[in-house]
């Protein structure tokens, strides 16, 4: 029988309501990459428990770098905004603008190959 | 892309945008003075500084992790070293040292010989119970809480009270793994 690594239950508003890590692999900190036929799901987990997921075209390179960059944008435009309340939905325009720019730059780099 | 290793405190500090040190010292001083005027009691000011520090620390930790690239610390000893050598260097520009470890490795002191918050500051007699730098204890406590460590932090030595250095005692109370689901009772 196949081993189950972890179980997530997410509510319709996107909140994680149940999580169980059952991985028999020691030193495992959670999902990093999920490869499917029509998409790749890349994940970065910070040591503070915040998880960043990016769904991309299968085989897209440098997603790790993009995720790290997104983490840095999060620490700048979200956490350094004193009016942002922790753990609440992000409604910061500066964050939207910069995240979009980061993703566009990535797309341009890919299209240029 | 090969994984990037952790960066030293000096390297990060060199690349970060700077602000005038005097502006920083004056701003902090203005905060403390205003709190003393508003709250009057020195003990209340200590508590408020700690709370402000805590609110900073819970946000600062991600900035620290993103810029420094440190990986998960294997034990509390490594955590304390990282705070002293990378954390304090990165945010205050000073290197601290770690001493006075207890037998189980859960309690230590972080010592600062230099502290930009207190440049030009002298405590008057009316503020003798004040921990002027108490924001720092809050920052460390808040930051550690976001990486699952509950700590108790207190000042052992304070240069504004006549000691020869600033010594912060950091005691690990417990490691708290994340809990799901989050309780929505606030």
Asked whether the beta carbons of B151 and B168 are under 8 A apart, the reply is no
CB contact under 8 A, A19 and B67: no
Look up residue A74 and give its DSSP letter: I
Three-state DSSP class for A22?
coil
pLDDT tens per residue across span A91-107: 899 999 999 998 888 76
Contact A20, A14 (CB under 8 A): no
Q: Which tens digits make up the pLDDT trace of B61-74? A: 999 999 998 988 98
Render pLDDT for A37-68 as a digit per residue (tens, 0 to 9): 999 999 999 999 898 999 999 988 889 999 99
Residues A79-94: tens digit of each pLDDT: 999 999 998 889 899 9
Q: Inter-chain contact B66–A72, Cβ cutoff 8 Å?
A: yes
Angstrom distances, CA of residue A13 to CA of A18, A66, A88, B39, B41: 14, 25, 12, 41, 45
Domains of chain A: residue spans and CATH: 29-112 (3.30.450.70)
SS3 B63: helix
| CA–CA separation, B66 and B62 (whole Å) | 6
Q: Do A47 and B147 touch (CB under 8 A)?
A: yes
Q: What is the pLDDT of residue B144?
A: 96
ipTM associated with this complex: 0.84
CB contact under 8 A, A50 and B180: no
pLDDT at residue B179 in the model: 61
This prediction has a pTM of: 0.86
- The second-level CATH assignment, the architecture, of B9-175 is 2-Layer Sandwich (3.30)
Q: Helix, strand, or coil here: A49?
A: coil
Looking at beta carbons, which residues of chain A come within 8 Å of B1?
Answer: 62, 64-65
What's residue B185's pLDDT?
Answer: 47
Q: Which ranges of chain B have pLDDT less than 50?
A: 1, 184-186
Most A-contacting residue of B55, B59, B145 (CB-CB within 10 A), to test interface: B59
Q: Return the pLDDT at B2.
A: 53
């Amino acid at each position: 029988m196949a081993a189950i690594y972890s179980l997530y239950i997410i509510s319709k508003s996107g909140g994680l309501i149940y999580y169980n890590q059952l991985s028999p692999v020691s030193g495992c900190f959670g999902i990093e990459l999920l490869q499917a036929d029509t998409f790749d799901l890349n994940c970065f987990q910070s040591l503070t428990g915040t998880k960043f997921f990016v769904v991309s075209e299968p085989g897209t390179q440098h997603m790790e770098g993009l995720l790290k960059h997104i983490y840095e944008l999060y620490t700048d435009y979200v956490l350094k905004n004193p009016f942002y309340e922790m753990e609440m939905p992000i409604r910061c325009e500066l964050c939207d603008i910069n995240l979009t720019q980061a993703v566009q730059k990535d797309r341009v780099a890919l299209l240029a190959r | 892309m090969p994984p990037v290793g952790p960066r030293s405190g000096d390297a990060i500090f060199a690349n970060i945008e700077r602000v005038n040190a005097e502006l920083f010292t004056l701003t902090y001083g203005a905060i403390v003075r205003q709190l003393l005027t508003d709250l009057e009691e020195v003990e209340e000011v200590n508590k408020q500084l700690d709370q402000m520090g805590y609110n900073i620390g819970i946000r600062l930790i991600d900035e620290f992790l993103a810029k420094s690239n440190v990986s998960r610390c294997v034990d509390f000893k490594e955590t304390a070293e990282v705070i002293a050598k990378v954390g304090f260097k990165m945010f205050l520009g000073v290197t601290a040292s770690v001493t006075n470890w207890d037998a189980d490795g859960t309690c230590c002191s972080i010592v600062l010989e230099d502290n930009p918050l207190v440049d030009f500051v002298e405590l008057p007699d009316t503020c003798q119970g004040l921990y002027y730098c108490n924001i720092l204890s809050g920052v460390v406590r808040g930051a550690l809480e976001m990486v699952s460590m509950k700590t108790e932090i207190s000042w052992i030595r304070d240069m504004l009270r006549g000691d020869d250095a600033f010594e912060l005692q950091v005691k690990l109370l417990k490691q708290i793994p994340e809990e799901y689901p989050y309780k929505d009772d606030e």
